[in-house]
Amino acid sequence: MDSAYVIAPVVGLLSAVHCIGMCGGIVGALSFSLPEAERRRGSRLLAFTLAYNAGRLLSYALAGALLGGLGALLVAAGEALWVTRLLRAAAALVTVGIGLYIIGWFPRFAVVERIGEPLWRRLEPVGRRLLPVRTLPRAFLFGTVWGWLPCGLVYAMLISTPARADAIGGAVYMALFGAGTLPAMAGVGVLSGRLLGMAGGPAGGATRRRLQMAGGGLVVLMGAFPLFVLGI
């Protein structure tokens, strides 16, 4: 099995601190905007949280299919082996960049967010029209818009998606990445107030920094492995 399909969910899981910082406020606001009766019922709050995230993961998968299909076209148009190796090397370098970005050593990596800004300017008003969210289908639709929010990690993963050289493979790759982010995002949605409170203060900051260093370092190693060990 292609190791990228193992790396993708791990990167998503290890980016938890970044995800909470980037989208925690959004998820918390969505949870608090629900009627009090819905928030008090744990099962309903969980259902809304999962609906938001299901929509988000669907958007990731759609974007992955588009970029995976592009990779297939590039491989078909060029010398297959040479193009495939180039795409995989680029994907490995992007993974290393993601790890350095999570650690905080490569803040300029966030420039990839600009790729999605033109599209987001068109989609953001659509998301606003879906507010306030009061039904599960509406929550799912809002999640599909939220999935295109410019995020350095998401768009970096998309840049590496053409290496899958297959639309279905690209969709699975991005869906697996999204699944890796699900524990953090679902946790924030259900326990937003408590989790956001834990992130503050000196102790929380030190813990967050250690998690960033450990998680980012592991992602760097996963990206470097195919470059130096497998020779791609």
Q: Which of 3-17, 66-80, 135-149, 199-213 has the lowest mean pLDDT?
A: 199-213
Band the pLDDT of 96: cuts 50, 70, 90. confident
| Tally of domains in the chain | 1
Packing angle between helix 80-103 and helix 4-14, nearest 10 degrees?
20
Tell me, what's the pLDDT at 104?
Answer: 76
> What value, to the nearest 5°, has the Cα angle with vertex 197 and ends 191 and 203?
130
Give the integer Cα–Cα distance in Å for 208 and 12.
Answer: 16
Tell me, what's the pLDDT at 192?
Answer: 54
Q: Report phi then psi at 209, rounded to 5.
A: -65, -40
Q: Is the pLDDT of residue 148 over 80?
A: yes
Q: Is the pLDDT of residue 215 over 80?
A: no
Give the structural domain span for 119.
4-228
pLDDT digits (tens, 9 = 90+) for 36-90: 777 777 788 888 989 999 999 999 999 999 999 999 988 887 666 667 777 778 8
Closest to 156 (Cα-Cα) out of 226, 69, 91, 71:
91
pLDDT digits (tens, 9 = 90+) for 100-147: 877 778 777 767 878 888 988 999 999 889 888 888 999 999 999 999
More confident residue, 182 or 18: 182
Tell me, what's the pLDDT at 199?
Answer: 42
Tell me, what's the pLDDT at 132?
Answer: 84
- 91-104: average pLDDT: 78
The helix/strand/coil state of 229 is: coil
More confident residue, 228 or 59: 59
Closest to 104 (Cα-Cα) out of 152, 138, 43:
152
Tell me, what's the pLDDT at 227?
Answer: 66
